[in-house]
Amino acid sequence: MKKIASLLLTAAIILSLCACGGGKDTDGSRPSVTKENQAETEPARTDGGAGQVWGRSDEPMPAGRLFESGDFKFLDLGDQTAYALSYTGSDQEVVFPADVDGLSVTGIWSYALTDAGGPVRKVTLPASVKKIAYCALTKIGLTQIEVDVDNPYLRSVDGVLYSGDGKTLVCYPADHCSLTGLLKFELPDGVESVADGAFWYDYSLMVVEVGDGNGALKDVDGVVYSKDGKRIVWFPAGKPYTFYNIPDGVTDIAPYAFVCAKNITQFVFSADVENIPPTAFLNCTALKHLTVDENNKNYYSDEGKILYTKDKTELVFYPPSNPTTTFSFLDGMTKIGDYACFGCKFMYKAPVPEGVTEIGFDAFKYCDWLREADLPASLKRIGENAFADCRDLTLINFAGTAAEWEEIEKLPHWNSGATPEITVRCSDGEIVLPDA
């Protein structure tokens, strides 16, 4: 197994299929800021999530008082503690403070490095920090994370961030391979899980090796699986594969398992797979086909491309590089799921059929070509960020009346971000939505 992984790694290096530090977003800022980089994006945070040292993608920001100090923005939680929300300076080495204005800094919130004025290469965390939110330290160009030795909640091993007990890999810096000079990573034996988004923007890693002494995980040709082989945990994004066949016996795909796998154009799932979360494929910018065995009990793929639930009532995921400009949704659908059309490159028009009652959060987010959407009178709910950052969306054709449009439950920021002014054309008139 290890010989196969080594041969793959060597061949890939020789062919120069993947360069260390790859990816369009060379300065490490949030890619959604520019039109050219719109496909490389991050999912939204929504309600829910359990309190723990490493954050979940669906965890909401807590309430508090916002304030600034030096090059940092903070959130005063009202209990003598604060979270660091963002760093806005231009230092390549960022040291988060242990306290500010008499408050102990106990957490780093999501995307805290996004607004940095320049590349960030190294981050140092104080002993006080015990909460790392989802993608808190996501930044292209980051090579290492260090932690104060007195921190009982977190630890750093060779520049990689783990939970204090060493059981969870919290963050693998996006350009760590440029520090090590290797396109492979050896996972410590004590690691039992990988946090959501731990490998965001790591376009270079090609092989993860798991030692035989690890009781929870193993690797198969450099891909991380659960020890029993039933769950795919992490697929290194830099692998040169364009096609990946999910092996028989795999029943579960971890959230974010294939994030940023930039070379993959097709995944094939066996009849055994029971759980395929749409977040597994985010930032798979070349993906065109999701094919499911016809005997699978939970999922169906339309023409071997589009992923639906088996009963065809919910759209699960539409591959972002599917070249179809006007997508024909299946009749009988009642829901467009969370992230279902996230970051689709070529979708020009979205004719949502009558019968659909719900559009999930982030469902059409970052659909950069989307200019027009047909929404049915049956629609009852539009999720958070559902049409956020759709830069060309100017027209929604709603089959119901203006009064019915107003009755639809619209979650916060459903059309926020870079989305322009939108005209909603109802059966009895027009409503103009201001820039959100």
pLDDT 10s digits, 242-259: 999 999 999 999 999 999
**pLDDT band at residue 24, thresholds of 50, 70 and 90?**
very low
Strand order in the sheet with 168-171: 154-157, 160-163, 168-171, 193-194
- Least confident interval from 219-223, 306-310, 407-411, 430-434: 430-434
Is a pLDDT exceeding 90 seen at residue 7?
no
Mean pLDDT of 15-30: 34
**pLDDT band at residue 52, thresholds of 50, 70 and 90?**
low
Mean pLDDT of 198-224: 92
Residue 50 is predicted with a pLDDT of 35
Is a pLDDT exceeding 60 seen at residue 47?
no
Is a pLDDT exceeding 50 seen at residue 75?
yes
Mean pLDDT of 181-186: 90
Residue 382 is predicted with a pLDDT of 97
Mean pLDDT of 161-181: 92
Which are the contacts of 316, defined by CB distance < 8 A and separation ≥ 6? 276, 278, 299, 307, 308, 309, 337, 340
Residue 13 is predicted with a pLDDT of 35
Residue 9 is predicted with a pLDDT of 37
Mean pLDDT of 47-65: 67
CATH no. of 318-436: 3.80.10.10
**pLDDT band at residue 179, thresholds of 50, 70 and 90?**
confident
Mean pLDDT of 304-316: 94
Residue carrying the six token digits 């959407």: 373
Residue 153 is predicted with a pLDDT of 95
Residue 35 is predicted with a pLDDT of 29
Residue 146 is predicted with a pLDDT of 98
Is a pLDDT exceeding 50 seen at residue 269?
yes
Instruction: Indicate the pTM of the whole model.
Output: 0.82
Ordered DSSP codes for 177-208 = HHHHT-SEEEE-TT--EE-TTTTTT--S--EE
**pLDDT band at residue 345, thresholds of 50, 70 and 90?**
confident
**pLDDT band at residue 436, thresholds of 50, 70 and 90?**
low
Question: What residue type is 189 in one-letter code?
Answer: D
Is a pLDDT exceeding 80 seen at residue 315?
yes
- Least confident interval from 47-51, 55-59, 227-231, 318-322: 47-51
Residue carrying the six token digits 């829901």: 335
Mean pLDDT of 407-431: 91
Domain ranges of the chain: 318-436
- What are the φ/ψ torsions at residue 278 (nearest 5 degrees)? -65, -25
More confident residue, 330 or 404: 404
Is a pLDDT exceeding 50 seen at residue 393?
yes
Across 60-69, 323-332, 373-382, which has the greatest mean pLDDT? 373-382
CA-to-CA separations, 387 to 35, 128, 322, 391, in angstroms, rounded: 16, 38, 19, 9
**Sequence-ordered strand ranges (E) for 231-313:** 231-234, 243-245, 252-253, 266-269, 289-292, 299-302, 306-309
Residue 51 is predicted with a pLDDT of 42
Residue 58 is predicted with a pLDDT of 67
Is a pLDDT exceeding 50 seen at residue 2?
no
Residue 39 is predicted with a pLDDT of 35
**Sequence-ordered strand ranges (E) for 101-226:** 103-108, 122-125, 131-132, 144-147, 154-157, 160-163, 168-171, 184-187, 193-194, 207-210, 217-220, 223-226
